[in-house]
A and B are shown apart, each in its own frame.
Chain A
Amino acid sequence: MTGSILFEAIAFLAGAIICVPIARRFGLSSVLGYLLAGILIGPFLLGIVGEEGEEILHFSEFGVVMMLFLIGLEIEPKDFWKMRKTIIGMGSLQVAGTIILSFLLFSFLGYNWPVALAVSMAVALSSTAITLQSIKEKGLMGTTYGASSFSVLLFQDIIVIVMLGLLPLLASGNEIVDHGEHGTGPGFLDDLPMGWQTATIILSVVAVVFAGRYLIVPMLRWVARTGIRELLTASALLIVLGISFLMELAGLSPALGAFLGGVVLANSEFKHELESTLEPFKDLLLGLFFMAVGASINFAVIANDPGSVWSILFAVIILKGVALFLVGSIFRLKIDQRLLFTIGLAQVGEFAFVLLSFAFQLDILSQAQMDLMLVVTALSMTLTPILSILNERVILPRIGTRESEERPMDTIQQNHKVILVGFGHFGSTAGRFLQAFGVKATILDNDSNRVDFLRKIGFEVFYGDATREDLLESAGIAEATLLICTVDNPNTTRKLVKIVKKKYPNLKLMIRAKNRYDAYELLNLGVENIYRETLDTSVKMAGDALHELGFRNYTIRRQAKKFMNTDEDMLRELANQHQNSKEYIFKAREAIAMQEKLMEEDLKRGGIPNDHHWDSEQMRLVD
């Protein structure tokens, strides 16, 4: 436990660099890797990071603030307005339901009612950091599960302000409150009457909206004109910090303020600039946050009374799960989305740290009660990602099978000859053209809403993860003559190819590849028909450019075809060489070497004059 800040920084960074790749290697989310790294370097294992863990936790909560700002950036104000019903409906149901269930549990355990209520409020809140990070990692933000989770979490961000306001009322006659120390603790408004508080809250929200439009955007334009890049980074940080400070001053959650700020700026021209600037800060801070959570797990408390820690932990996760599952049922989430939603949000979140320690200061909780609940919180954050993995790997695949058994009609109709995996922008274009020829492909897609919509308009669509063998089987892969994969994510594509190549070696595959490197990997997996999304369009574009410059269209067209054919040949030639370098960093270097090589080859072949057809020059020379 050395006090050197450098040494601690090294411990955190090294922990992350060692644990996160290992977690990813086993297919776990990076969140879990960070949490394990935190436990590893924490006071109870290696002891590199000690009591300071608490401070780091508070500091790194800023990562959550940044994440919400970035999420806000991706949501246009009108979309946000559309979500208001889900936010309020799902959110209030989830919070109220969980508080009631949890209150019953803790009353039953013999806690007196203010304690039980304070604890229940903490329990009702889920972890924005863990849930949204995993959702983004898996690219599920656009699904019903993603949107529902986001709505509930946003509501929790709002309701936590009310909770912080209510806590002092639970403290019987104890007025000694230490304001200054706690990030999300109540601000100067506490002494004001209720009406004024509301007014100030509304005022600060309006202030954020107006500042976004009339202060921040002009400021960014001004900074952009200087052309100094780091100033833009500074401005981005200033914006997030400024909004957070304003919100804290008004007693609002900084995360909520940052989210609002993000939404306001979503329409501005700086959207992408801000995103790319803040992304690394957010990721690092969130990683730090997860590690701090891991480090703060007090194993001494567990050792003292393992029975009650584990039983409370499981009771809390189960009751949260029950409440979430009910909410999911009421809002008619499909069963698989509902399960993802249930388990995804079943942990007690980072706001619990704030609420619990505030309740402790108000003398509502005893030290022992607070320690116990803090451990439960941290453990639940570690446990739910593991439960999610179980859910995705063990439970969901079975449910998928059952669903298709329930609908034999679907299965019979699906025995077409073509399976089309992915129905996004790429896949839908392909599918439409197939349909123009009366070819009705069996479509597999993993967005249940899109699936429902497509079914409604008459497409035959299977819902689910196409890398699941049972789903491929029920889609009729055994009878299929052709499988077309238009999936955007190269990892999914490769996984799918490996499965199909192994199980159905005779099935003809047509695979979309993101780029040359993706194509190499696919070639090395034995795929013949590879469609690089970056080839045809780029050559066509260059061709049109040449036409603008005065070259004749037919010449360009012939050369373009020739160019693409050569490129395809070269792709196959170079695929083997590529196989030898697997690490990402080398690939990046290889990319440059490859471009060089391609250019050289082009030069060697020479330019346009290669085409001597319809050319009377040679004959003239003889005559």
Chain B
Amino acid sequence: MKKILILFAHPRFEQSRTNSALVRKVRTRTDVTFHDLYESYPDFHIDIDREKALLLQHDIIVWHHPFYWYSCPPLMKQWIDLVLEYGWAYGPGGTALQSKKCLQVVTTGGSRKIYCAEGRNNYSVNEFLRPFEQTARLCGMKYLPPFAVMGANKLSRDDLGAFAVQYDQIIDCLKDEKPLAALKDCVFEKDLPEINKA
């Protein structure tokens, strides 16, 4: 059984319908460590020792955040800047995170149609997240394709519920190292082979 750490960063969580639905499911799980970064470090003063210890205790790291300006909220970036230290996470002797898995969970306002070569945003979410992918890779982690809940503003209550269930199921599969084949009609669908390969 793999240990899962969800690093959640949302500066205005109390206002987010989508993330409330997603988080409600997973944060109550006893087999997952849910770590609310904005709640822990409201002044951006990240306790690096604590974060490193948490990382070492888990096998799968989830970066869960809304998609702001094609990237993450600033505290998530601050976390990456400070915690993934040279000589610890990468560079000479930086092997602390070797062979851990990294999953990014993002919520976007724009739909999948907008996030493509023909759409207004020109690139897909996966492409926008390249820097994160590379970050994980540099630290020796296996970067899974991102689980993106898109068009979040227009989702119905039922849609939200369905996404929350999927999130929960993904966590289940990752935990037990099972293939994700059971997930049908999932935003993840296209990436499933890649995920199951990993």
B residues neighboring A (CB under 8 Å): 43, 45, 81-82, 86-87, 91-92
User: What mask results when residues 596 to 623 of chain A are scored 1 for a CB within 8 Å of chain B, else 0?
Assistant: 0000000000000000011000110010
Does more than half of chain B's interface fall in helix, strand or loop, or is it mixed? Answer: loop
User: What mask results when residues 552 to 569 of chain A are scored 1 for a CB within 8 Å of chain B, else 0?
Assistant: 000000100110010000
5 A-B pairs with CB atoms under 8 Å apart are A561-B43, A561-B45, A614-B81, A619-B91, A622-B92
Judge whether B45 and A619 touch: CB under 8 Å.
no
Which residue of the partner chain, among B43, B82, B87, contacts A613 with CB atoms under 8 Å?
A: B82
Judge whether A618 and B45 touch: CB under 8 Å.
no
Return chain B residues, CB-CB under 8 Å to A565: 45
Return chain A residues, CB-CB under 8 Å to B87: 618
Return chain A residues, CB-CB under 8 Å to B92: 622
Judge whether A618 and B86 touch: CB under 8 Å.
yes
Distance in angstroms between the alpha carbons of A618 and B90 in the assembled complex? 13
Return chain B residues, CB-CB under 8 Å to A622: 91-92
Judge whether A619 and B86 touch: CB under 8 Å.
yes
Count A/B pairs, Cβ under 8 Å. 14
4 closest Cβ pairs, A-B complex: A561-B45, A613-B82, A618-B86, A619-B86
Distance in angstroms between the alpha carbons of A561 and B48 in the assembled complex? 14
User: What mask results when residues 523 to 563 of chain A are scored 1 for a CB within 8 Å of chain B, else 0?
Assistant: 00000000000000000000000000000000000100110
Distance in angstroms between the alpha carbons of A561 and B45 in the assembled complex? 7
Return chain B residues, CB-CB under 8 Å to A558: 45
Return chain A residues, CB-CB under 8 Å to B45: 558, 561-562, 565
Judge whether B91 and A613 touch: CB under 8 Å.
no
For the complex formed, measure the closest distance between the CB of B15 and the CB atoms of chain A, giving whole angstroms.
Answer: 15
Q: Knowing that A561-B45, A613-B81, A622-B92 touch, tell me 5 more A-B residue pairs with CB under 8 angstroms.
A: A558-B45, A618-B86, A618-B87, A619-B91, A622-B91
Residue of A nearest to B47 (CB): A565
Distance in angstroms between the alpha carbons of A149 and B86 in the assembled complex? 71
Distance in angstroms between the alpha carbons of A618 and B86 in the assembled complex? 8
For the complex formed, measure the closest distance between the CB of B153 and the CB atoms of chain A, giving whole angstroms.
Answer: 27
Return chain B residues, CB-CB under 8 Å to A613: 81-82
Distance in angstroms between the alpha carbons of A558 and B81 in the assembled complex? 14
Residue of A nearest to B87 (CB): A618
Distance in angstroms between the alpha carbons of A618 and B91 in the assembled complex? 10
Distance in angstroms between the alpha carbons of A619 and B85 in the assembled complex? 11
Return chain B residues, CB-CB under 8 Å to A619: 86, 91
Residue of A nearest to B83 (CB): A613
Return chain B residues, CB-CB under 8 Å to A614: 81
For the complex formed, measure the closest distance between the CB of A559 and the CB atoms of chain B, giving whole angstroms.
Answer: 10
Return chain A residues, CB-CB under 8 Å to B43: 561
Return chain B residues, CB-CB under 8 Å to A561: 43, 45
Return chain A residues, CB-CB under 8 Å to B91: 619, 622
Distance in angstroms between the alpha carbons of A619 and B87 in the assembled complex? 9
For the complex formed, measure the closest distance between the CB of A609 and the CB atoms of chain B, giving whole angstroms.
Answer: 16
For the complex formed, measure the closest distance between the CB of B103 and the CB atoms of chain A, giving whole angstroms.
Answer: 26
A562, A613, A618, A619 — most chain B CB neighbours (10 Å): A613
Return chain A residues, CB-CB under 8 Å to B86: 618-619
Interface residues of A in 222-248 (CB under 8 A from B): none
Residue of A nearest to B45 (CB): A561
User: What mask results when residues 462 to 499 of chain A are scored 1 for a CB within 8 Å of chain B, else 0?
Assistant: 00000000000000000000000000000000000000
Residue of B nearest to A611 (CB): B82
For the complex formed, measure the closest distance between the CB of A228 and the CB atoms of chain B, giving whole angstroms.
Answer: 51
Distance in angstroms between the alpha carbons of A590 and B27 in the assembled complex? 48
